[in-house]
């Protein structure tokens, strides 16, 4: 499914993410009631990005549709808050300053040429052998990157040399519906 989520469903997912993080930090005891929403029960890839005071504090997700979207959002929100190796786990005192952003992904598709990558529209997955790096579509806009810079950073994220995108890596693209609190 590639249909965009309406504002009500976006709010629901943001609330699910925040509630899951609050439970993880011990600030909330009750579990969220089970949802009855066929759209949020569909399997979709998604990422949750966390910022505190405008600084990245975690970003984790599933690029492929492994689980129902509502479950995915809760799981990756907790992972972004506690398991992103780049950051210390989120602390209870940061909750009031926390901003949550959700990216719901389309299925990735291969491209035949780097020129097919549309900066600002496409997220990228660059892979070669067992190495793989993913960047969300909003990332190059946040940093003012052009296509070449975006592809270089995708290679670096995969643990490859920054110019490997010119030498036969697999490049896949996807789109995302991005929304935040």
Does the domain made of 7-105 have the CATH classification 3.30.700.20? yes
- The pLDDT assigned to 33 comes to 59
Maximum separation of any 2 CA atoms in the chain, in Å:
52
Domain boundaries along the sequence of the chain: 7-105, 109-176
What is the token pair recorded at 23? Answer: 């439970």
Express each pLDDT in 75-103 by its tens digit: 999 999 999 999 999 999 999 999 999 99
CA dihedral sign of residues 145, 146, 149, 151? positive
- The pLDDT assigned to 1 comes to 45
- The pLDDT assigned to 27 comes to 77
- The pLDDT assigned to 113 comes to 94
Gap between the Cα atoms of 103 and 90, Å rounded: 20
CATH class of 109-176: alpha beta
Low-confidence ranges of the chain (pLDDT < 70): 1-2, 31-35
pTM: 0.89
**Fold match between domain 7-105 and domain 109-176:** no
Name residue 127's beta-bridge partners.
132, 170
Express each pLDDT in 55-80 by its tens digit: 999 999 999 999 999 999 999 999 99
- The pLDDT assigned to 32 comes to 63
């Amino acid at each position: 499914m590639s249909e965009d989520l309406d504002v009500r469903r976006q709010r629901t997912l943001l609330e699910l993410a925040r509630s899951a993080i609050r439970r993880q930090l011990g600030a909330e005891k009750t579990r969220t009631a089970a949802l009855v929403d066929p759209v949020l029960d569909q399997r979709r890839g998604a990422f949750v990005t966390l910022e505190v005071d405008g600084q990245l504090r975690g970003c984790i997700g599933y690029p492929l549709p492994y689980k129902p979207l509502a479950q995915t959002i809760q799981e990756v929100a907790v992972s972004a808050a506690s398991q992103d190796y780049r950051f210390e786990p989120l602390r209870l005192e940061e909750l009031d300053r926390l901003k949550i952003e959700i990216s719901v992904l389309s299925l990735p598709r291969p491209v035949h040429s780097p020129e097919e990558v549309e900066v600002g529209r496409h997220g990228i997955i660059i892979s070669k052998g067992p190495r793989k790096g993913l960047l969300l579509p909003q990332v190059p806009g946040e940093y003012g990157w052009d296509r070449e810079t975006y592809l270089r950073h995708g290679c670096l994220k995969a643990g490859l040399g920054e110019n490997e995108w010119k030498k036969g890596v697999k490049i896949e693209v996807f789109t995302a519906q991005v929304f935040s609190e």
